[in-house]
A and B are shown apart, each in its own frame.
Chain A
Amino acid sequence: MLKNRRQFIKKILSIAAYSLALPSGFLRPSLANAEWQKEKFQPKDYAKIIEHLYGNTQFIESKKIKFSRLPKVAENGAVVPISISSTLKKVTKISILVENNPHPLIAEFYLSPAVAPHVSARIKMAKTSDVIVIVEAEGKLYRKTQFVKVTKGGCG
């Protein structure tokens, strides 16, 4: 156990500092040290995954995020092209989520300042759903949503 009062106070202070730093973003995984976490990509409820990833942080609906390519009606859910670009500055992370997918989190892109905030990929969609893109810039979370109708599902 802790021997004396001084040690005890030290310990308490360090725990307090740690728990304060945690939500404010100091210890968020960045480009260099982020590790692939199984829980993030497991089949889960959309609301739960949002809570797991971002806690209670409020999203700012932003027009500065643009889907330069994303169909309103996707004929084949196995291959839905998506292209995201943004005019926000200092973008560090772009996440793609599909609300009604069994695995709602599709991918997370950690970007360094050497890269323009632009990402394209091809994603799978099980059924008609909202596609949500969350952009993290300067510690704030920006969100943009588009409804995509899927004619033929692509999740097996």
Chain B
Amino acid sequence: MSSIKIRTKRLEKTTQIRSLITHPMDNGRKKDKQGKLIPSHHIQELTVKHNNLQIIKCQMGGSISKNPYFDFLLQGGNIGDEITISWVDNLGKTDSKTHIIK
């Protein structure tokens, strides 16, 4: 299953893009039950594409909350447009998902 959930809602002049990603977002400061530090594991880069055109690039550290949520407003946006969200984390893992505006 994909780690990304995307919802879109067409508003008057804009389209709201909401996304929820399943990711631990460890910043390397938290300790586990044995008192050992959990190594940092967080998303570094998030990109949003609208019909294959890059519209947002977000760079982040480990200070974004676990299972990060983001929302953005796209100017315009029509039914059938594709929204693709992808991320890369500091361990090189990556995931992406495409959503079609309804």
Contact = CB atoms under 8 A, between A and B. Distances in A.
Interface in B2-36: 14, 27, 29-31
Given A112-B54, A112-B55, A115-B55, A103 B62 contact: yes
Contacts of B55: 111-112, 114-115
Interface residues of B, number: 32
B94 interface: no
Nearest to B25: A124
Select the residue from B44, B55, B58, B60 with max chain A CB neighbours within 10 A.
B60
Interface stretch (A5-13, A28-36, A55-63, A134-142): A28-36
A120 B59 CA distance: 14
Nearest to A117: B73
A89 interface: no
B82 interface: no
Contacts of A116: 14, 72-75
A155 B29 contact: yes
Residue of B30, B62, B63, B68 most packed against chain A (CB within 10 A) = B63
Given A106-B64, A120-B70, A156-B27, A111 B45 contact: no
Interface residues on A, range: 35 or more
Contacts, number: 111
A18 to B, nearest CB: 25
A110 B64 contact: no
Contacts of B57: 31, 34, 109-110
Contacts of A78: 65-66
Interface in B40-90: 44-45, 50, 53-66, 68-76
Given A119-B70, A120-B70, A110 B65 contact: no
B72 A122 contact: no
Please indicate which of the listed interface residues A40, A101, A115, A118 has the most CB atoms of chain B within 10 Å of its own CB. A115
Nearest to B67: A122
Interface of A: 31-32, 34, 36, 40-41, 78-80, 83, 98, 101-103, 105-116, 118-124, 154-156
13 contacts: A79-B65, A80-B65, A106-B64, A107-B59, A109-B58, A111-B55, A111-B56, A114-B53, A114-B55, A118-B72, A119-B72, A122-B68, A124-B63
- Which 10 residue pairs of A and B lie closest in terms of their CB atoms, listed nearest first? A156-B30, A41-B61, A116-B73, A107-B60, A156-B29, A122-B65, A120-B71, A118-B73, A110-B57, A106-B63
